[in-house]
């Protein structure tokens, strides 16, 4: 990189004006009616664009850059256009603008529209779009704005459904903008299951379907005759976030696998913090009525009975069952009672201290084979007071997460 001295040159100042934040430049829409195209309220922006535009999330070479990615609400036919007020010119500025178009083309499948008229004529055919696969669950949510209940449906689809492969290619482009470490999956592997959420809406007296979100699950084989489904990606599109669709989807998927005798339990790949909170809520909701989680049994501590019952009846693995137990025990515990509160805290901290204990066992092993002066360096890293502080901090954070789950449960 050339060194810039204080006082930027006129040229550098000029070039700095040609940098655009790609999270702001990219404008996404899910279009139901032609008038949505002109309505700013229907536009939303990515949370991330680093996978396409690099860690700085910047596109160079344009002023007033707009990258329009508009999707028809149901089948996700795409309009892709780039607009800007001015662009650097190689002849005069001796620099080249980023090739924004080819970067976007890398992640969106071919066959998109580039002008609005074509897009609007596709919109008229949207009445023919129907969800893919098998209907698993229907639910409704009261919408304040519309003053009515809106109906949603969850379907399980696979690549044999006509048109689904192409639809999925368009759908997965959203992952890039909303999941930090997203990657596209190998759709030719038949062990993938796809679960889709749609909203039913009316247009000129007809019932149409809009895409709300989806989840992909991979079925791992477990010797000799079981599978262990692993949730890979889950996305509720931004216009629908915060309405409870994630919980509906996760619970529906759990119930789908619960009914299968060959499923061992359900896990998740590298879950985000938000996903863990969602899962806590759904699993606690499913488990709270099991006999092994009665208040009396909760007070007696975590048991093998809980592990077995949660796995056999609800396909929940041991690690997640332990969290469910801690959340339900918190609900059954009077934290104002010194004895009950102390007993609960010790119980949770005993689990939290596991990793520290492991570290200390490793240290004891090292002690036997290291010279004393090498040892002190290793020991300095593990200060007991620090450990206690970290443990208390983890505990407090956990309790506040657990309380939020219980609050949501109380409202459910």
Residues with a known catalytic role = 269
Tokens of 328: 């339900």
Asked whether the beta carbons of 179 and 163 are under 8 A apart, the reply is no
Asked whether the beta carbons of 81 and 64 are under 8 A apart, the reply is no
Of the chain, the end-to-end C-alpha distance in Å amounts to: 56
User: Residue 218 phi/psi, 5° resolution?
Assistant: -105, 135
Contacts for 190 with CB less than 8 Å, ≥ 6 apart: 158, 159
What are the counts of helices (DSSP H) followed by strands (DSSP E) for the chain?
A: 17, 14
Strand extents, DSSP E, 95-191 = 134-143, 148-157
Distances (CA, A) of 280 to 179, 211, 259, 277, 288: 20, 25, 21, 5, 12
Distance separating alpha carbons of residues 201 and 125, to the nearest angstrom: 15
Asked whether the beta carbons of 201 and 150 are under 8 A apart, the reply is yes
């Amino acid at each position: 990189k050339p060194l810039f001295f204080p006082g930027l040159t006129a040229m550098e100042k000029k070039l700095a004006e040609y940098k655009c934040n790609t999270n702001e430049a990219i404008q996404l829409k899910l279009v139901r009616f032609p008038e949505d195209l002109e309505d700013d309220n229907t536009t939303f922006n990515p949370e991330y664009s680093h996978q396409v535009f690099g860690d700085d999330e910047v596109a160079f070479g344009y002023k007033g850059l707009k990258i329009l990615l508009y999707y028809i609400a149901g089948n996700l036919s795409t309009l892709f256009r780039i607009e800007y007020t001015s662009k650097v010119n190689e002849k005069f500025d001796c620099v080249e603008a980023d090739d924004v178009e080819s970067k976007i083309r890398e992640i969106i499948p071919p066959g998109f529209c580039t002008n609005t008229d074509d897009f609007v004529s596709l919109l008229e055919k949207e009445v023919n779009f129907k969800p893919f696969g098998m209907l698993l669950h229907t639910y409704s949510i009261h919408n304040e704005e519309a003053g009515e209940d809106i109906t949603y449906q969850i379907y399980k689809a696979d690549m044999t459904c006509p048109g689904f492969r192409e639809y999925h290619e368009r759908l997965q482009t959203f992952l890039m903008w909303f999941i930090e470490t997203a990657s596209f999956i190998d759709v030719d592997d038949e062990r993938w299951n796809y679960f889709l959420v749609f909203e039913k809406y009316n247009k000129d007296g007809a019932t149409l379907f809009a895409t709300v979100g989806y989840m992909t699950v991979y079925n791992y084989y477990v010797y000799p005759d079981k599978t262990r489904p692993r949730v890979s990606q889950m996305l509720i599109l931004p216009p629908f976030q915060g309405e409870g669709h994630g919980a509906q989807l996760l619970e529906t998927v759990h119930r789908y696998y619960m009914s299968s005798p060959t499923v061992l339990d359900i896990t998740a790949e590298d879950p985000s913090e938000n996903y863990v909170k969602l899962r806590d809520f759904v699993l606690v909701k499913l488990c709270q009525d099991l006999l092994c989680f009665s208040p009396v049994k909760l007070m007696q501590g975590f048991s093998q009975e809980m592990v077995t019952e949660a796995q056999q009846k609800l396909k929940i693995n041991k690690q997640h069952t332990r969290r469910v137990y801690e959340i339900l025990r918190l609900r059954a515990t009077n934290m104002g009672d010194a004895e009950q509160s102390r007993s609960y805290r010790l119980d949770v901290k005993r689990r939290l201290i596991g990793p520290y204990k492991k570290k200390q066992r490793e240290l004891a092993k090292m002690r036997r084979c290291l010279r004393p002066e090498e040892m002190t360096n290793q020991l300095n890293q593990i200060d007991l007071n620090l450990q206690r502080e970290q443990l208390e901090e983890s505990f407090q954070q956990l309790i506040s997460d657990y309380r939020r789950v219980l609050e949501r449960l109380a409202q459910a």
